[in-house]
Amino acid sequence: MARWVFTQKNNDLLRGPRRVPPAILSILQERGVTEPSCVEDFLAPFPKLTHDPFLLNDMAQAAQTVVQTALGGGRICVYGDYDADGVTSAALLLCTLRAISDRVRYYIPSRFHEGYGLSTQAIDTIASEGIDLIITVDCGSTSVSEAAHAKSLGIELIITDHHSPAPDATPDCLFINPKRSDSTYPFPHLSGCGVAFKLAQAIQRLLEQQGDGRFLKADLNRLLDLVAISTVADVVPLLDENRTLVKYGLEFINRREREGLDALLEAVDFGEREVEAGHIAYMIAPNINAQGRMESADPGVDLLCGDADGRSGLDRIARDMAANNRARKAEQEKTHRLCEKIIGQGGSGELFPVVYAPDAHEGVAGIVAGHLKESLYRPVFIVTDGEEGLVKGTGRSVPGLDLHGMLSSVAPLFERFGGHAGACGFTMKKQNLERFRQAMQEAMAEALRADPDILTEEIKVVKVLDASEKTLEFAETLRLLEPHGEANPKPLFASGPSRVESVHRMGTEEEHARFMLRTGDGTMLPCILFRRAAEYGMYLQPGAVVDVAGELGINEFRDTRSLQLVARDIRRGDGA
């Protein structure tokens, strides 16, 4: 059972503009935004917080190398990744470099045949085409041997990435990563595309200093839509500089100036609504990700760069991407059922489930691992068969458990691994799988000894809603906190002890529910619960007295707007 933690501060201790409601000030202070000037910037429609790209290690030399190579007629390859962050990163640098050179190409490795990251085989392929400079985006931080191989072939290499580097070795090349151990960059949590944008920013400034007007600041700013997509999709903290990048990026998305993105919105019947961060997370990013999960990620890059035969060609790519996303959803459901069955057969006794599903679809393993992590509230790895006696694992972790650190402690077991605290992947010999499983159980047992509550979900609730806050006006005020995402989630509020007046089950398997609460002050509060109606069935009965924690929002249906609480957790009305 989840543990509720109320975070509302004493109003007398809150600091900020008087016009800001105490509930919002309390939310901001709990998230580390404490100074009045920082509160102002956080809530501003167009915040100003950004950092100088040249504060990143190797940035000055990297920008100089790129410009010299491009203007000197050298061939450049942008090497990306097959997820939404990698695809947007590649598209961003391609758009940047094509402004000053026509000798630029990209390379996205296949998830199924090459796997994540830079590889010597890919470098050999790229070298055979006479490439002079490779720039990685969203990968490369652990590519020590690959960097050496590129150097042996006489190819210059610039690595731009945001994943955690190996603690004991770094690639011998220009290496731009705010997570470098020697980095003094003020904000380490950029997305891969955010780091690529910083390189583009440095290139633009260098060109401007040289009097070259082919890539202006206005051109740079038009790339912020790609940064916004990647920042939300890759679940990096929506604080500090990221908040600025996403806010401006959303503005450019809603201008609908990028034809490929407009074609994608049309392909999924989005209509003329305003795109918000949630739409990136649940609609735009999944359609981009589905390409790399099901086939090749290349069409996503082509779509975002406008590389097609006019608008009709972009529409065709967008429709194919939407179809792939529908296929991904079907495969995801199949894989989820399979993994649940395997866990059930094992008695769910593992502290750290390592699910070996040899025939599961590798492309959806990460999504399923994430869903299982949420339902079990344990770290989960899904392992599938690879090639030639290898297996591939994809893991997701709960807050407080550093998955990358756990894998680092058994690094010799892997052929390769990477990721960060919350999500990791690896390739290993199949013969090492049982040793890995045992190592994860031991690591989890050790973590529990250090913190017995680490596998108890903690739900942070701002406060119990009072009568003045169960209104559309208050729900609108909460939108000042947008855009929401990692480290800036939608705030949760509690209904307080309330009586269930009515319940309506929805969905093909009645997995969703709408229900009406009569709260303690007599106010009626409409609620909705997604996917977990069976789990909370004992509470979803007319007459039951419950306490609901959820996101206070606005339900817009046709031309009607109404208040609703999107339930996150339900408990007995007496707090038990």
DSSP state of 301: H
The domain locations on the chain are 54-324, 346-450, 459-572
The answer to whether 83 and 289 are in contact (CB under 8 A) is: yes
Q: Which pLDDT value is given to residue 122? A: 97
Q: Does residue 14 have a pLDDT over 80?
A: no
The dihedral through the CA atoms of 28, 31, 37, 39 has a sign that is negative
Instruction: Report which of 253, 322, 333, 245 is spatially closest to residue 288, judged by C-alpha positions.
Output: 322
Closest by Cα among 198, 199, 216, 196 to 207: 216
> How far apart are alpha carbons 241 and 231 in whole angstroms?
11
**Residue 48: alpha-carbon gap to chain centroid:** 23
| CATH class of domain segment(s) 459-572 | mainly beta
Contacts of 116 (CB under 8 A, 6+ apart): 81, 82, 109, 139, 418, 425
Residues 6 or more apart from 350 whose CB is under 8 A from it?
Answer: 378, 437, 441
Q: Which long-range contacts (C-beta less than 8 Å, at least 24 apart) are formed by 533-540?
A: 533/505, 533/507, 534/510, 536/567, 536/570, 539/500, 539/570, 539/571, 539/572, 540/500, 540/503, 540/505, 540/513, 540/515, 540/570
The residues, ordered by sequence, that sit 6+ positions from 22 with a Cβ below 8 Å of its Cβ are 11, 14
CA–CA dist 173, 191 (Å, integer):
21
Give the pLDDT score at 166: 79
- Read off the pLDDT of residues 430-485 as tens digits, 9 standing for 90 and up: 999 999 999 999 999 999 999 999 999 999 999 999 999 999 999 999 999 999 99
Position 38 confidence tier, pLDDT thresholds 50, 70, 90: confident
pLDDT of res. 11: 59
DSSP assignment of 225-282 equals HHHHHHHHHTT---SHHHHHHHHHHHHHHHTT-SHHHHHHHHHTT-TTPPP-HHHIII
Please state, in angstroms and rounded to a whole number, the distance separating the CA atoms of residues 202 and 67: 10
Fold topology of 54-324: inorganic pyrophosphatase (n-terminal core) (3.90.1640)
- The residue type of 519 is T
**Residue 112 confidence (pLDDT):** 85
277-333 pLDDT, tens digit per residue, is 999 999 999 999 999 999 899 999 999 999 988 999 999 999 999 999 999 999 999
The per-residue pLDDT for 10 is 63
Beta bridge partners of 560: 557
Q: What are phi and psi of 478, to 5 degrees?
A: -65, -20
Q: What is the pLDDT of residue 479?
A: 92
Rounded average pLDDT over 186-191: 97
Q: What is the mean pLDDT of the chain?
A: 93
Annotate 327-349 with DSSP letters as a single string: HHHHHHHHHHHHHHHHHHHTTT-
Stretch (H or E) spanning 476: helix 472-477
Please choose, from the candidates 242, 201, 206, the residue with its C-alpha nearest in 3D space to the C-alpha of residue 221: 201
Amino acid at 218: A
What gap in Å lies between CA 356 and CA 530, rounded to an integer? 28
**Alpha-carbon separation of residue 537 from 60, 490, 541, 549 (angstroms):** 59, 25, 7, 16
Taking the C-alpha atoms of residue 56 and residue 59, their distance in angstroms, rounded to an integer, is: 6
- Band the pLDDT of 421: cuts 50, 70, 90: confident
* 16 pLDDT more than 90: no
| Structure letter (DSSP) for residue 393 | E
Residues sharing a CB contact under 8 Å with residue 263, sequence separation 6 or more, in sequence order: 303, 311, 314, 315, 317, 318
Q: Per DSSP, which regions of 172-214 are E strands?
A: 174-176
Distance (Å, whole) CA 187 – CA 195: 11
The confidence score (pLDDT) of residue 17 equals: 67
SS3 state of residue 489: coil
DSSP class of 464: B
Average pLDDT rounded to a whole number, residues 211-233? 97
Class of the CATH domain delimited by 346-450: alpha beta
pLDDT for the residue numbered 575: 60
Q: Which two tokens stand for residue 70?
A: 């491009």
Rounded to whole angstroms, how far apart are CA atoms 113 and 131? 22
Instruction: Look up residue 424 and give its amino acid.
Output: C
DSSP one-letter string for 99-162: TT-S-EEEE---TTTT-SS--HHHHHHHHTTT--EEEEES--TT-HHHHHHHHHTT-EEEEE--
Q: φ and ψ at 550, to 5 degrees?
A: -170, 180
Q: What is the pLDDT of residue 36?
A: 84
Mean pLDDT of the region 140-163: 97
Q: Calculate ∠ Cα 44-47-50, nearest 5°.
A: 160
DSSP assignment letter at 283: I
Pairing between strand 380-385 and 354-356?
Answer: parallel
Residue 87 has a pLDDT of 98
Phi/psi at 464 (5° precision): -80, 130
Cα 393 to Cα 208, 291, 360, 384, 433: the distances in Å are: 46, 20, 11, 6, 10
Is the pLDDT assigned to residue 349 strictly greater than 70?
A: no
Task: Tell me the three state secondary structure of residue 60.
Answer: helix
DSSP 3-state of 220: helix
Output the furthest CA–CA distance in the chain (Å, rounded): 76
* Per-residue DSSP letter, 284: I
Percent of the chain with pLDDT over 90: 82
pLDDT at 324: 95
The pair of structure tokens assigned to 361 is 């679809």
Name beta bridge partners: 106: 78
Q: What are the structure tokens assigned to 282, written together?
A: 């649940």
Look up tokens 């957790």; give the residue: 569
Write down the pLDDT at residue 387.
84
- What is residue 18's predicted lDDT score, i.e. its pLDDT? 63
- Pull the structure tokens for residue 128: 């055979």
> Residue 16: left (phi > 0), alpha (psi -120 to 50), or beta?
left
Please name the residue that has the structure tokens 């055979």.
Answer: 128
Instruction: Give the other-Cβ count within 10 Å of 558's Cβ.
Output: 5
* Contact present, 84 and 321 (Cβ < 8 Å): no
